[in-house]
Structures are given as structure tokens and as C-alpha cells.
Amino acid sequence: MSDGAVKRYDVAVIGAGMAGMAAALFAAQRGLSCIQVGSGGGILFASGLLDLLAVHPVVERRLWQSPYAALAALAREQPEHPLARVAPVAIRAAFERFVAALAGAGMAYAPLGERNSQLLTSIGTVKTTLGVPLTMVAGVAALERRPACLLVDFRGLREFSARQIAETLAQRWPDLRHQRIDFPGFEAVPEVYAVHLAQALESRETRERTIALIKPQLGDARAVGLPAVLGLARSREVHAAFEAGLGLPVFEIPTMPTSVPGLRLLGALEAAVSSLGVLRRQQTRVRALTWDGSKALLDLEGVPGGERVCASAVVLATGRFSGQGLTADRQCVRESLLSLPVQQPAARDAWHQRDFLDPAGHAINRAGLSVDDAWRPLDASGQPAWTRLFAIGSILAQQDWMRAKCGSGLAIATAWAAIAQLTQQLRGTEAG
């Protein structure tokens, strides 16, 4: 490939999960040209909820009403945690910008405040989170007030049981009833899937038939809960139609992965970054990454004939084991692309606690890359591997995002912080 065929960008984002999407979004919003490489498959497992920080300390399983109070405690007690290294004012700005972009792409969220919300899950437990899609907001009020409420599910939808939710919460919410109905047009189908129901409900006729089946079951209900199947790209329209047709607040309950809200979230993020001019190379991976002075060269595979691109800065958002940003064998954990040093237990037998459900979690879950104050991963000498290589999201060390319920917060906050550093470097160079 000749040098003339190499396309040049300000930023190359490696990874298309939540952190990669946030980085591409924030870079493009700052006016930087950006290419994004990777698959957004991890987002398909998302609930659509945006956690900031719900649990701290993890070992105590303490739930916080205010994620910002939790962040203050985290900063005092665990200052090496990536979230503790981002100023709260920056985290607020990042979340507001992220949610605004989703709203512009058709996936609206309730206004973000200072408090976490609680809402039902598909197994009858309660989830604590900050960002709630508008289609789920009525469920927050319903769980708090616990009025007479009807939960509806559909025959053949095996990933969601209204009866299980109602029975699990029977003592806490005695006025919670459940009803199963046939989904219109799928009566003879033994097993149905959430995404097919969501697509079907974008038809006005199917919506009206479904509403007509639910209406006689309302009784004294003051709210109605449904599995999260109220449309895909047109979820606001479908949700509004159900509320108007039933004359009651209607709320979705997140289903098991792969979820419809995850598909909505992925679609909205793809639309948001594409509208800002980000070039997305989907189902493509970086085969090799090298740098020479102020430029990085990325050789891509998955593109017919291969492709080489040049970038002034690179953001590593490849995730942990599921995203293949990290790999492991019986000896150690390794970073997959550049063989960067991974902060991890010294011995293999220290990876896990003896009790699988130990409340402290497992040391392996806190393994990852160490970064400097500018979010640049460190090499074996403790220096930045490259002056314009940045690492964000779950590949970072010193955090256990699953137990702390901070996955989205980790992705969005570190993406915002790294892009701010990256932009300052690039524009400082340009000004010079």
C-alpha cells in the first residue's frame, strides 16, 4: 500500500463498546476527525440503564442513593480507582453530553439528577442506577409508591416471567398482579423472542390489538409493567401509544440479554457518532499498531485487501476478557494488542478467593492497565508507552465495575477525561 493511500485521522478509537463509543462521540464533538475500529457486540448485553456508581465499598455491598456521595467516599478510600481520578464536575458534564446525544438519536432518558433510581429487573430483584430511559421511568415511581399494578408477559417469551417477578416481590409489593396473554399474530408460535415482538409493535395494528388484550385485565391497576419490547428505533412512539391506549403509566422492565434496550442503545450510539462524521470500521480488528514520532500506524484486518490508517492519537478501549482486550493463560494475564504490562496478582493462585461468592470479589477482576495522570498506559519502565496512546474503560486496573455497579460511569467518565487530555495535546501541538 502506497503512502498516498493511507488515510489520516486525528484520533483512532480501538473498540466499539460503551467506552469506545463514548470516546468516538466526545472526540467528534470536539471537532476531531475520528476512525473507530471494532464491534459493539458488548452493548447488546446492556440493559439500557446507565450506572454511575451504586455500590461502595464492594465488600460491604453498601448501596448509595447519591452516586456523587459514593464518588466522594471512593475518592477518600480508594483514590487509585479510575472513577476517583475524574473530577465530579467532569463526570456530570460527560453524562449530560452522552445522554443528550442519545436523545438526539431517538433514545431519550429521564433528566439526570443527583440521586440514583431503583427499578425492577426481569427476575424480581431491584436495580440501582442513575440513567433511566423514558420508557422505564414510570417503573421507578411505581416501585417507590407500590400502587396496584399489573405486570403483563407474553406466552412463549421464556426470558421474562411476570409471575416470577410478582411472587418474588409479594411481601414487599402485595398489590402487584400478573397476567399472561398471547401476542397478536404469534398465537401459534411456541417460543417468541423479544426483538421480534419489538419489531412487530412498531406496526400500529399490532399495537392496537395488544392494547385491546391488556385493557380488560387492568382492574384496579394504577400502572402497567411490560417486558422491554415496546419498539426498537421507534420506542418513544410505541411507549406513548401504550400509555394513551391504556390510560395509565406504562413502564418497561429490562429483559435478559441479548436485550431490546441494548439494541436500541447500540443503534442510537451508532447513529450519534456517524452523524458527527466518525468513520466506523465494524467487524474489523487492528492487526498491528506501531508509532513513529507523532504518528501511529494501524494495520486493519477484516477489510477486503486490508487497510492502513494513520492517526495522531490512539484510544485503547478494547475492554477486558469478553472484549479480548485482555487474555489469560495459566501463568498470567496479558494485554492483547501491544503486550502492555498488566497490573495483576503476582501468582496464579491469588487470582480468586476460595469462595466464589466472596463479597470482596476476586483479584483477577481488578487486573488491568496502569495509566498516568493523562490516561496513558505505562510500559515496563513505568513511562507512557507512547505519548499519544490512551486507555479507557474496563481495561483499566484497580476497579471491579460489575460489583460496584459502575460500568457505564467508568466508560463514559474515563472517555471524557482521556479525550480532554488528548485534545489538549493535539491542539497544543498544532498551536506550536
CA dist list (Å): 394 to 270, 300, 331: 20, 23, 21
Q: Identify the three-state secondary structure at position 141.
A: helix
Question: Which positions ≥6 away from 289 have C-beta within 8 Å?
Answer: 14, 296, 297, 298, 299, 314, 337, 338
Question: Which positions ≥6 away from 375 have C-beta within 8 Å?
Answer: 390, 391, 392, 414, 417, 418, 421
**pLDDT of the residue at 86:** 98
Cell digits of residue 411: 466508560
Cell digits of residue 70: 459514593
Task: Scan for cell 450510539, then name that residue.
Answer: 269
Q: How far, in Å, CA of 190 to CA of 347, rounded?
A: 50
27-51 exposure pattern, b = at least 16 Cβ within 10 A, e = fewer: bbebebbbbbbbbbebbbebbbbbb
Cell digits of residue 56: 461502595
**pLDDT of the residue at 40:** 66
Largest CA distance in the chain: 72
Supply the CATH classification number for the domain 122-253: 3.40.50.1860
**pLDDT of the residue at 428:** 81
Cell digits of residue 189: 408460535
Tell me how many degrees the CA angle 399-60-359 measures, rounded to the nearest 5: 70
> Do 3-105+264-431 and 122-253 have matching folds?
no
**pLDDT of the residue at 39:** 78
Cell digits of residue 194: 423479544
Q: How far, in Å, CA of 81 to CA of 343, rounded?
A: 13
Sign of the torsion angle spanned by Cα atoms 181, 184, 190, 191: negative
To the nearest 5 percent, what fractions of the chain are helix, strand and coil?
A: 40, 20, 40
pLDDT digits (tens, 9 = 90+) for 37-79: 987 678 988 899 999 999 999 999 999 999 999 999 999 999 9
Q: Roughly what angle, to the nearest 10 degrees, separates helices 407-431 and 88-104?
A: 100
Q: Where in the chain are the domains?
A: 3-105+264-431, 122-253
**pLDDT of the residue at 432:** 30
Tell me how many degrees the CA angle 133-136-142 measures, rounded to the nearest 5: 140
Q: Which residues of the chain have pLDDT under 50?
A: 1-4, 430-432
Q: How far, in Å, CA of 342 to CA of 350, rounded?
A: 15
**pLDDT of the residue at 429:** 54
CA dist list (Å): 300 to 18, 207, 213: 21, 44, 52
Q: How far, in Å, CA of 98 to CA of 119, rounded?
A: 21
Supply the CATH classification number for the domain 3-105+264-431: 3.50.50.60
Cell digits of residue 81: 480507582
Q: Identify the three-state secondary structure at position 244.
A: helix
Q: What is the enclosing helix (H) or strand (E) of 291?
A: strand 285-292
Q: How far, in Å, CA of 410 to CA of 94, rounded?
A: 11
Q: How far, in Å, CA of 127 to CA of 252, rounded?
A: 13
Q: What is the enclosing helix (H) or strand (E) of 418?
A: helix 407-431
